[in-house]
Amino acid sequence: MALLEEDVPITNVITTDPTKAKALENDVRAKILDMLTDREMTIEEIHTELERRHEEKAETTVRHHVNVLKDAGMVELARLEEAGGGTWKYYKSNTRVFSYDLPDDADERLTGARTQLRDELRTVIDALLEEHGDEIESVAKEMKPCEYCKAQHYEEFIIRELLNRTLTDVSEDADLDTLFE
């Protein structure tokens, strides 16, 4: 006889590739991404800002963290500047990480919005599959298996990535925060 039997639904899905997941294993890298979201910075400037945030790291360690993020495709070299016989490299993040906790009653308060969005999103996904299903299946066939997953959900991953990347495009076109001002 079971002492507890509970149906546990999936309530969170995280989509990322293994290289990005590994890059985010270190909280200093998440801080660096956050710093580089707003402005371009050199390794020295990142080092100084980390110290201001009470992260005492050697400059070589900071360089290593930036290189890991760069190799994961989350940070790019934004510009080079000649200075005093050398070259300054300025880095910028192309990735935004949201790491918040919703208030305890957020699900209850947002039920109406979630229901509306779910219904409208179903319509959008149906239309997307009708129009681009062959392309999605073609991309899915070329994907490598997830090293953590027994069941491979390639098409679902692609749809989630399309939604996420499109939402990012919309955010870049018009800063979503400005809609609430």
Which residue in this structure is represented by tokens 């990535």?
Answer: 161
Q: Which of 116, 133, 115, 114 is nearest to 125 (CA)?
A: 133
CA–CA separation, 107 vs 119, rounded Å? Answer: 17
Whole-number average pLDDT of the chain: 89
Residues 6+ apart with CB under 8 A from 130: none
φ and ψ at residue 95, rounded to 5 degrees: -130, 135
pTM recorded for the entire structure: 0.76
Would you place residue 3 in the very low, low, confident or very high pLDDT band (cuts 50, 70, 90)? Answer: confident
What does DSSP assign to residue 143? Answer: P
> What pLDDT, in 10s, does the model give residues 60-108?
999 999 999 999 999 999 999 998 888 999 999 998 888 888 999 999 9
CB 127, CB 77: distance < 8 Å: no
Please tell me the predicted confidence (pLDDT) of residue 149. Answer: 75
Instruction: Indicate whether 158 pLDDT > 70.
Output: yes
* CATH 1.10.10.10 placement within the chain: 18-93
Would you place residue 173 in the very low, low, confident or very high pLDDT band (cuts 50, 70, 90)? Answer: confident
CB 26, CB 65: distance < 8 Å: yes
Please tell me the predicted confidence (pLDDT) of residue 85. Answer: 84
φ and ψ at residue 38, rounded to 5 degrees: -90, -30
CA–CA separation, 163 vs 59, rounded Å? Answer: 37
CA–CA separation, 181 vs 176, rounded Å? Answer: 10
Q: Which CATH class is domain 18-93?
A: mainly alpha
Please tell me the predicted confidence (pLDDT) of residue 169. Answer: 84
Express the helix, strand and coil content of the chain in percent, nearest 5 each: 55, 10, 35
Buried b (16+ CB within 10 A) or exposed e, 25-47: eeebbebbbebbeeebbebebbb
